[in-house]
Each structure stands twice: as C-alpha cells, then as structure tokens.
A and B are shown apart, each in its own frame.
Chain A
Amino acid sequence: QVHLQQSGPGLVKPSQTLSLTCAISGDSISNNLVAWNWIRQSPSRGLEWLGRTYYTSKWNNDYAESFKSRITYNPDTSKNQVSLQLDSVTPEDTAVYYCARQFDSYFGYWGQGTLVTVSS
C-alpha cells in the first residue's frame, strides 16, 4: 500500500523559503511509471497545481508557469522522499500543501496535507 507522509514547518516568515518534505512508502520515487506532484489549496485560489518531478533516465521537473521562478523540487533517493522549496513567500502563499502520486496519469494517492501560514 502506498503511503505519503508530509512534514515541515507550519509557519514561515514573509520573504523566506517554504520547505516541505513528502516521504513515500510502498513505492520508489524512482519508479519511472510515476510522477510526484505538489498541490496547494486555499479558500481564495482553490486547488492549485504547483508542479511535479519524475524519473525516466534522469530526473525531470515540470513546474506551473506562475511558480517557475521560485520553486524547486529535490528528490532524495536515499530517503525515498521528495521535497518542495518555494522561495520568497508572501501571505498569499498561505495554504494547505499536498504531495500526490501520479500513476496511470491520475492522482491516486495524496499526503495528509500541511497547513503553511506565511506571517511575521
């Protein structure tokens, strides 16, 4: 059974970097049939896809255009986890952040969600 466990701070100061980790069990992050996505949800923006990372013969990233300048995904095969870094956050980045596994194209497994508040 695939399980995604998220971790990371719930409070980030404006202009700093948001960092979250998604630890995967029951699958390998290097599985070339799978992509690992980050999605966030806020009352003002609804569900918003941030991007994904996936392994073919190398790691590939596919970021939503509006985040490209300040988002980074870091896969860690030794820990079987993927991490999200979002730079220069503002209060508008306050949201619940989810990681999700994409297999056969659809998002079948999700992490439990992490509420991140951007505030000084």
Chain B
Amino acid sequence: IVMTQSPDSLAVSLGERATINCKSSQSVLVSSSNKNSLTWFQQKPGQPPKVLIYWASTRESGVPDRFSGSGSATDFTLTISSLQAEDVAVYYCQQYYSSPYTFGQGTRLEIK
C-alpha cells in the first residue's frame, strides 16, 4: 500500500490551523471493526517518531487536543487547530492494515 502525503511542506502562522493530507493506494478500513488502520506520527530532529493519532482518529494519551485526525478508507487528514511553536516537526502517516507496513514521505511543518 502506497501512502502519499500532501503537501510536502507547509508554513502556517502561530495560532492558525494546519492541515496535512494522506492518501492510501487502497482502503485501510477494517470492515469487521469499522476502524481505519492509520497512524499519524510527529518527528522532531534527533528523536524517534511519536504517535499522535491511531485508528485514524483516536488521540494518543497525553497528546494535546489541538491535534485531530479524520477520514476513512483511502483519504485522511491531520489537523492542528491552533499551531504552537512546539509543533514544528515532520509529520508522517502510516498504514498498519497489511504488511509491509508503509509510511508516507512526510510533511515538514514550519512557522510562517
């Protein structure tokens, strides 16, 4: 499954909304559970990826509620409702519907 993110990079003003898209080449919806097998990660320099969202829309414990995930089947969105300085990072989507598990190419988020 090929994961394609857009845009590759994004500059947003502090306090504004940031939106990152992820498209999978085939559906990652598990029909038996009606859950989408998609994770959003945040990665800062020198650190491993950190889970923000799993099952496409479930926020990981401790993640600020300005982060939200939406979408289903092949089209997904990560939204940061009000950008903070500490949100500067690269964001990745990943499907765990079927192996080989695959990642998007990443979206670099910067402050405008």
Contact = CB atoms under 8 A, between A and B. Distances in A.
Contact of B99 (A49, A107, A108, A112): A49
Given A105-B37, A106-B55, A64 B100 contact: yes
Contacts of A65: 100
A114 B64 CA distance: 28
Interface residues of B, number: 20
Contacts of B47: 113
Contacts of B51: 106-108
Given A47-B92, A108-B60, A64 B48 contact: no
A31 to B, nearest CB: 18
B105 interface: yes
Interface in A53-68: 62, 64-65
B77 interface: no
A63 to B, nearest CB: 9
A47 B94 contact: yes
Chain B interface mostly helix, strand, loop or mixed? loop
Interface string A79-118: 0000000000000000000101010111110111100000
Interface string B80-106: 000000000000101010011111011
B101 A49 contact: yes
B100 A47 contact: no
Please tell me the size bucket of the interface on A.
20 to 34
Contacts of A98: 48-49
Nearest to A111: B48
B43 to A, nearest CB: 9
Interface of A: 37, 46-49, 52, 62, 64-65, 98, 100, 102, 104-108, 110-113
21 contacts: A46-B103, A46-B105, A47-B49, A47-B92, A48-B103, A49-B99, A49-B102, A64-B99, A98-B48, A98-B49, A102-B96, A104-B54, A105-B54, A105-B96, A106-B37, A106-B54, A106-B55, A107-B51, A107-B94, A108-B54, A110-B49
